[in-house]
Structure 1
Amino acid sequence: MEMNNITTDATQTYEAFNRNDTSVTVKVFYVIIALLGVTGNGLVLYVFFKLPKLRVVPNLLISHQSLVDLIVSFLLFVSFVFPTTNVQSLNTNHHAFANFLCKCFISQFVFWASMRASTTNLVFLTLERYLAVVHPHLYRQRLSVKTAIFVCILAWCVGALSILSSMIVYSVNERGQCSNDHLKDSGRVVIALVGFTITLVIPLVVMVFVYSSIIRAFRASKEWSSKEQEVSTDSDNSATVTEANASQTRSQNVYTVDVSKPRAERSEQLQTDGGRTTRNIFVTMFVICVTYLICWTPNQILYLHHNLVRQRDWTGPLHRFVILLAASNVCVNPIIYAFKYRSFRKGLKQLFPKYVPSSF
């Protein structure tokens, strides 16, 4: 398949995004997704960094997720709405510069490295919730702001390394075309399998393991709280107790409970203070992960199937639909935060009281 006389058929998505005959309607959808992604993720970053009380480890990773998605949204607009794939601009008299453009931009390496960084960061966010809920002591000891920053950098490294093949297989040929013509079918299958594993299999396995473990921890916490109600005390003095269950922690904070209160009231406090915040983050991240799987599963299955059967006609409506569905993932997270994440909603109301209703 040719796109502005540039052979770029290494992946389904590169081709379908960059085709000359892509309809105006499809490009309008790209523009809408890109603008929503930049605006929504920019708003998330503004809220989290404007309010000091929101600068905790979970929100740092969530902010980084928004930063990556904002970058992806911008690259989506620049690379796919106005693609720079004119072969005439690759003057072979300046082979080094032409090769640089070919390997980094025409191959869409920068865009897909950012996409993979977004996926990797989401996996790290999921593991962060696992540590916070299931292993709170390890979480408090090991997961500092410095560790979170290191994890963010690691996400970019993994994203770049996972798509490094595009830089290797693409080059400017003797006709001045950026192509991967020399890539054999076996190589395409390997690249497809690696992408399928990184984009879908690993995130799915991690999400299933983490959220099943968290649900078990919540159930154990509920049983523990029920037993706590049965414990009697003869003391009339006020004291504090440190919560021992994983699901009752919020970030690295420890909250207190007045044992002079009635047992039922103490139990209610145990379940609503740190536990409510933990559960809210859990629900938010769970919805984000499910949304990710909904957006990316059709795309990756179809991509792998077509590489295995050596069918590379990416012009059908089904292909374009799954590509748009995958691309839309960059703009949905801010919407989820607005409706599900209590801390973000409070931040919005605090920063924009005139525009956000108090009932929101």
Structure 2
Amino acid sequence: MAEQNLPLLIFQTIVGCLGICGNGLLCIVIIKVHFMHTITNAFIFNQALIDFLGSLVLLLSSVIPIPDPFPPGAGGALICRLWVSQFFLWGFFVTSTFNLMAVTLERYLAIVFPFKYQQLATRRNVILTIACVWISGFLFALQPMFRVQIKNGECKQKMIPYSEIFGIAIAIASYFLPFTVMLVVYIHITLVLKKGAARLGPAPAVQPFGSGGGAVNDQRESLMRARRNTFKTLLIVFIVFTVCWTPNTVIFFLFNLGVNINLNSPVHTVTVAMVAPNGCLNPFIYAIKYKQFRKALKTLFGRQNQIPENSLATLTTNPG
């Protein structure tokens, strides 16, 4: 291990451990607690699983030394292309981005087009979407595999034809496009929720005797609160994603445009380090902001043995 990379390796080791613990707990909670079995939480579970595996790869890449020299033959070539190139690590990073876009679009359909959502929100479509997320994520992470080769017993970078064009296309498809889609969607959801709150209005202080209006208003207000809570939680996740990913992606994009950027500089090292925490921070965001997850934690650890308030609305309408 090079001395100048030691702080980065220590940082990645800590982030990897936190990501494994946090995302592992999130997966267990969603699996074990029945009222967490909603479509939204299926995507959140997939997010946690991706980030768990990404954190595991990050930890292993920090503690497992690179062979010196590399084994001869196909074995060394596979280690170079699959491991040293960080194919798996960036594959999980990009897959996490695509899944975040998927759960954002799922919430968008549920809130903005609820009737259409009821038709589309089927088990088959959810499984198909999640499969597409995994396949597309790793497809866009293939480029690093072709930029390395075994030479004189070492795994070294090599130039490939049209690498700049591929780099720009990957940056657009794996970051700028998802970022733009999610930004537009969150702005639209914000406007829709504000209009919905205005239409709902304040609940009357006293309901007429025998009137069912109070129950209807309570249910609508409960549904609106649940949707707002999920929306705010995912919005924070999106903001954290933006902060973590933007600096490194911008540098990578400018580098492929031909801007003279030193990829060995401390600035670039910091931007690479900023990407890693994105996978470990989400469980802490859910623990702080996601009310349904907090109730599920209490249920799992025996502090709350009953189905939480609003769970009927959660199970039937899936407001998250």
Question: Would you say 1:144 and 2:93 are equivalent positions?
Answer: no
The code of the aligned residue for 2:166 comes to I
Question: Would you say 1:35 and 2:17 are equivalent positions?
Answer: yes
Gap runs ≥5 in structure 2: 304-320
Match of 1:59 in 2: 41
The code of the aligned residue for 1:21 comes to E
Q: Secondary structure at the match of 1:88?
A: coil
The code of the aligned residue for 1:207 comes to M
User: How far is the alpha carbon of 1:35 from its aligned partner?
Assistant: 0.5
Instruction: Identify the match of residue 178 of structure 1 among 133, 137, 155.
Output: 155
- 1:49-198 pair list within 5 angstroms: 49-84=31-66, 86-91=67-72, 94=73, 96-173=74-151, 175-183=152-160, 187-198=162-173
Match of 1:10 in 2: none
Gap runs ≥5 in structure 1: 1-18, 239-257, 355-360
Q: Secondary structure at the match of 1:338?
A: helix
Counterpart-to-counterpart distance in 2, 1:116 and 1:286: 19
**CA shift digits 1:205-259 (9 cap, x unpaired):** 1112211211121122123224998xxx99x766xxxxxxxxxxxxxxxxxxx33
User: How far is the alpha carbon of 1:328 from its aligned partner?
Assistant: 0.8
Counterpart-to-counterpart distance in 2, 1:171 and 1:24: 25
Moved beyond 6 Å, runs of 4+: none
Count of residue correspondences: 301
After TM superposition, the score normalised by the length of structure 2 is: 0.86
2:70, 2:155 within 8 Å by CA — same for their partners in 1?
no
Question: Would you say 1:290 and 2:239 are equivalent positions?
Answer: yes
- 1:322-333 pair list within 5 angstroms: 322-333=271-282
User: How far is the alpha carbon of 1:75 from its aligned partner?
Assistant: 0.3
* Cα gap change, 1:168 to 1:23, in 2 (>3 Å): closer
Counterpart-to-counterpart distance in 1, 2:129 and 2:65: 32
Alignment RMSD (CA, Å): 2.5
| % identity of equivalent residues | 29
The code of the aligned residue for 1:53 comes to F
| Structure number with higher relative contact order (C-alpha < 8 Å, ≥ 6 residues apart) | 2
Match of 1:220 in 2: 195
User: How far is the alpha carbon of 1:169 from its aligned partner?
Assistant: 3.7
* Cα gap change, 1:103 to 1:25, in 2 (>3 Å): closer
Match of 1:253 in 2: none
1:44, 1:334 within 8 Å by CA — same for their partners in 2?
yes
User: How far is the alpha carbon of 1:279 from its aligned partner?
Assistant: 1.0
After TM superposition, the score normalised by the length of structure 1 is: 0.77
* Cα gap change, 1:183 to 1:310, in 2 (>3 Å): farther
Counterpart-to-counterpart distance in 1, 2:181 and 2:69: 45
* Cα gap change, 1:278 to 1:335, in 2 (>3 Å): same
2:168, 2:257 within 8 Å by CA — same for their partners in 1?
no
The code of the aligned residue for 2:167 comes to A
User: How far is the alpha carbon of 1:143 from its aligned partner?
Assistant: 1.2
2:85, 2:145 within 8 Å by CA — same for their partners in 1?
yes
